[in-house]
Structure 1
Amino acid sequence: MDVVVVETTQLGDPSYLVHDGTVALVIDPQRDTDRVETAARAAGVAITHVAETHLHNDYLTGGLILARDHNARYLVNAADNVAFEREPVVPGRAFKVGRLSVKPVATPGHTHTHLAYVVSDPDAGTGVRLAVFSGGSLLYGSVGRTDLIGPEETAGLAHDQYASVRRLVAEATPDAILYPTHGFGSFCSIGPASRIPASTIGEQAASNHALTDPDEDHFVRHLLANITAYPSYYAHMSPLNALGPGPAILDMPESVEPAELERRLEAGEWVVDLRNRVAFAASHLRGSVAFEYGMGSSFTSYLGWVLPWNQPLTLLGAHADVEKAIRDLARIGFDSPDAAVGVDPGALAPGALLVQYPITDWAGLMRDRAPGETVLDVRRTEEFSASHVQGAANVPLHELLRRVDELPTARIWVHCTSGYRASVAASLLHRAGRDVVLIDAPFREAADAGVELTGAASG
């Protein structure tokens, strides 16, 4: 058995191509299925089976389209209520993919109907003999979050998760390689998720708090205490996955004409500038907002979290960045955005006003901030509680659009952990007519610059 990992680092979610050298099973494919097809061609295998561990909450699946395109069997839990034809999977009822044996295991917790797949190869040779594809059940260092169904279900699902990971470990051997669908950077994980690139069932049994904690109630209390906010677009993913998403539309659109771009800006439509935050602050089209592209997983998650769902969207930036952003956004259902291609905003809309706002560091804050001016921390509440600037206000980035009116009218100095979220927040505030300064500096450097901090980690 060979396992090809198809990474989606922007969301922290890998998909898997599992094959015996001739035929392949694909597990939890993303909507842009061409990447999986490229992997299958490179391996010289035919895709005959496509399986879902669960109805995903953080991305749109490519499973239905991939199965149809390859005349493959589409395997979805028999208990899932879906609007498309599938092959219903029954936990415990194994099936074959070539010489590979695949056993579905009921692992409720992340969702009620969650499955994991234990795949074995009786003739592995130098390949993988036993692999566990755990979806959002057992992760590296932790487990999948249990609060995505609803608040009334969270505690019960946490208890289910505790039992499920033990059931999964019992189905495998310590040397079985673990392949979770949610990795570091995914908001579907909870607790002390690890950055490690690989692990085994035995390693997790010895180190994962879900397996080492002998007290189920203590584990559940710990899990619930560590629940944090998750992106608003998650609310749309599972219902769309149950309907069966169509193919990702990845075509590059024609560049929007200058007059039309100017009209969109005047109308208050969402025009997203993909350039780096320094260039944006120095000169940008009035009414546009900054979502810097190329910053790891930040772009997709935060754009989908911050901007309203299903509204017209226009991307501004270099051709390569726009092309990649279209692919990223298709994974979360932001389909077919328009684009104005170019890195000179003045040339994209010559009739629109160019504006700017200042950028500084922590020393600049200490030097230039006037009395009565607000320091705004746009990190999440748990980050703020751990340590923050003395006297700072906290409005998490994902809450900013609906809470702008709560902020004082004086100049606002905006920061986060690295500068990415602060750059988005500064652009939103500037768009709303506020006087803003972006603190583009790591929070860890604040104390060394003489900024007074408070909170558990301030010392």
Structure 2
Amino acid sequence: MFFVDTLEIEGLGNRSYLAGGPGGAVAVDPPRDIDQVIAAAARRGVRISYVAETHVHNDYVTGGLELARLTGAHYLVPAGADVSYRRVLVHDGDDFDVDPAAGLSLRAVATPGHTPHHTAYVLSEQGRDVAAFTGGSLLIGTVGRPDLVEPRLTERLARAQHASAHRLADQLADEVPVLPTHGFGSFCSAGQAGTDATTVGAERRRNDALVKDVDTFVADLLAGLDDIPAYYIHMGPVNSAGPATVDLTPPSLADPAELARRLAAGEWVVDLRARAAFAAGHLAGSFNFEGDGKLATYLAWLIPWGKPVTLLAESPAQLAAAQRELVRVGIDRPAAAATGDPVGWPRPGEQLRTFRRATFADLAKALTEDEPPLVLDVRRDGERTAGRIDGTLHIPLHQLHRRSGELPEGVLWIHCAGGTRAGIAASLLDAAGRQVVAVDDGFGAADEAGLPITTGAEGAAGA
């Protein structure tokens, strides 16, 4: 009997899979921290005989090469991928015996679109298809975005996505589970992907690629594409060259004097604590990227690539979890760290900084005062088009660090859709010496508070 184990990579909005039978297993699109894949195989008591990549990833550093090296597994990589290491070249229609005694095999299906070389894999048991690992092709309700490779290829790849989705649907029965890598909050998704279990039959009824004609699908897909996280440009080359072995040993601990030196040198000192705790007291000049949020995505998106980063955590466990998140996107070794009570982080005589948190109801009240505050919206363009508070400034979070000089003087109330990004933005501006109030509230509460909301495109974005 076959099994499929799902490994959730929640911070990146991805999933990896371990599938097989008693005599062997395949790991599909493994994360860089491969110890969890090895542990999953150990729990099953199976040997990993194959490691399969659906494509050269643009959103995270793969663990495939290292996993294959450590386990002796065959490393399956689409033949069209430009990589510099030895692997098994995978062509459309190739079959691989995962567990011959159990009749389990893996079939490659060329599904270009997310990348030109993208390949899905179909697991079969005794000749019956039982699972489709679709990577960044057919997702839950949508497809992987086609604009990560080369702008001139975007429309061509969007049309290829449509054709690939239909190819999978034509080959597979309705009851076959669809198991994508992307789409659970990943920016590799071209639209808002679902998270629930799905099948080929369910996708036939709801997936845009399968219910729309190709021209409508392509036009809608291209119109809905949002900004690409800045760090993506570094992921493909790392994966093509072959990632280095992960080092998750704890970084050296920094005392207050060292923290001050690193801040003075312009390095990033990142506080991983919850945004409420950060607002209540933090090291001056530090930035707040919550360890329980989308740490890897937002930190990697905003930080100048290669800038040394020091991590501040409430506990060694929080520090270790953050290291694990960050190696997945190529931020390999913190320069230093500090843990425990933040009162011990400043130098003697220095005080922790604070700023206020508020709700949209508080904002509505403040806007009725004689000198209403400035309000900064740090959501992405598409979110703002769907609904915005009249009269607010707008700089998306991922542009704020380089555009903060555009903001007028005065107290800034900062909001996003739920509070996480507003907390990050508030910390960035607080570190620059601005007086801020972080609106820690869901955007739906803005309308309930009576704030004037407008929908539709603006004449111009920005501050």
The alpha carbon displacement at 1:302 in A equals: 0.8
Mapped contact 1:322–1:339 kept (Cα < 8 A): no
Mapped contact 1:255–1:338 kept (Cα < 8 A): no
The alpha carbon displacement at 1:364 in A equals: 2.1
Give the equivalent residue in structure 2 for 1:111. 115
Trace 1:383-394 onto structure 2 (pairs within 5 A): 383-394=383-394
- RMSD in angstroms over aligned alpha carbons? 1.6
Give the equivalent residue in structure 1 for 2:240. 242
Q: Distance in 2 between matches of 1:371 and 1:156?
A: 52
Q: Distance in 1 between matches of 2:250 and 2:307?
A: 19
Give the equivalent residue in structure 1 for 2:444. 444
- Supply the AA of the counterpart residue of 1:115: T
Q: Distance in 1 between matches of 2:90 and 2:30?
A: 17
Give the equivalent residue in structure 2 for 1:207. 206
The alpha carbon displacement at 1:339 in A equals: 4.0
Q: Distance in 1 between matches of 2:202 and 2:346?
A: 56
Q: Distance in 1 between matches of 2:250 and 2:171?
A: 46
Q: Distance in 2 between matches of 1:284 and 1:20?
A: 51
Give the equivalent residue in structure 1 for 2:137. 137
Mapped contact 1:379–1:396 kept (Cα < 8 A): yes
Q: Distance in 1 between matches of 2:234 and 2:144?
A: 18
Residue 272 of structure 1 aligns to a residue whose secondary structure is: strand
Trace 1:57-206 onto structure 2 (pairs within 5 A): 57-99=58-100, 100-122=104-126, 130-196=130-196, 198-206=197-205
Mapped contact 1:118–1:171 kept (Cα < 8 A): no
- Does residue 340 of the first structure (1) align with residue 337 of the second (2)? yes
Q: What TM-score, normalized by structure 2, do the two folds share?
A: 0.94
Once the two structures are superposed, what CA deviation does each residue of 1:347-370 show, in whole Å capped at 9, x if it has no partner? 123334421222222232233355
Unaligned runs of 5+ in 1: none
Q: Report the more deviating stretch, 363-372 or 417-426.
A: 363-372
The alpha carbon displacement at 1:372 in A equals: 5.9
Mapped contact 2:183–2:192 kept (Cα < 8 A): no
Give the equivalent residue in structure 2 for 1:268. 266
Structure 1 residue aligned with 2:326, among 326, 329, 350?
329
- Supply the AA of the counterpart residue of 1:335: D
Unaligned runs of 5+ in 2: 458-463
Q: Distance in 2 between matches of 1:259 and 1:203?
A: 58
The alpha carbon displacement at 1:102 in A equals: 1.4
Mapped contact 1:2–1:21 kept (Cα < 8 A): no
The alpha carbon displacement at 1:456 in A equals: 5.0
- Supply the AA of the counterpart residue of 1:222: D
Q: Distance in 2 between matches of 1:272 and 1:142?
A: 35
The alpha carbon displacement at 1:303 in A equals: 0.9
Q: Distance in 1 between matches of 2:276 and 2:192?
A: 33
Give the equivalent residue in structure 1 for 2:429. 429
- The percent identity for this pair of structures is 47
Mapped contact 2:346–2:352 kept (Cα < 8 A): no
The alpha carbon displacement at 1:345 in A equals: 2.0
Q: Distance in 2 between matches of 1:192 and 1:378?
A: 19
Once the two structures are superposed, what CA deviation does each residue of 1:34-68 show, in whole Å capped at 9, x if it has no partner? 00000000001001111100000110000000000
- Does residue 308 of the first structure (1) align with residue 304 of the second (2)? yes
- Supply the AA of the counterpart residue of 1:281: A
Mapped contact 1:133–1:178 kept (Cα < 8 A): yes
Q: Distance in 2 between matches of 1:56 and 1:173?
A: 28
- Supply the AA of the counterpart residue of 1:110: H
Residue 133 of structure 2 aligns to a residue whose secondary structure is: strand
Residue 285 of structure 1 aligns to a residue whose secondary structure is: coil
Residue 305 of structure 1 aligns to a residue whose secondary structure is: helix
- Supply the AA of the counterpart residue of 1:317: A
Mapped contact 2:376–2:395 kept (Cα < 8 A): yes
Trace 1:286-297 onto structure 2 (pairs within 5 A): 286-295=284-293
Trace 1:15-26 onto structure 2 (pairs within 5 A): 15-26=16-27
Give the equivalent residue in structure 1 for 2:453. 453
Q: Distance in 1 between matches of 2:183 and 2:225?
A: 16
Residue 14 of structure 1 aligns to a residue whose secondary structure is: strand
Mapped contact 1:32–1:247 kept (Cα < 8 A): no
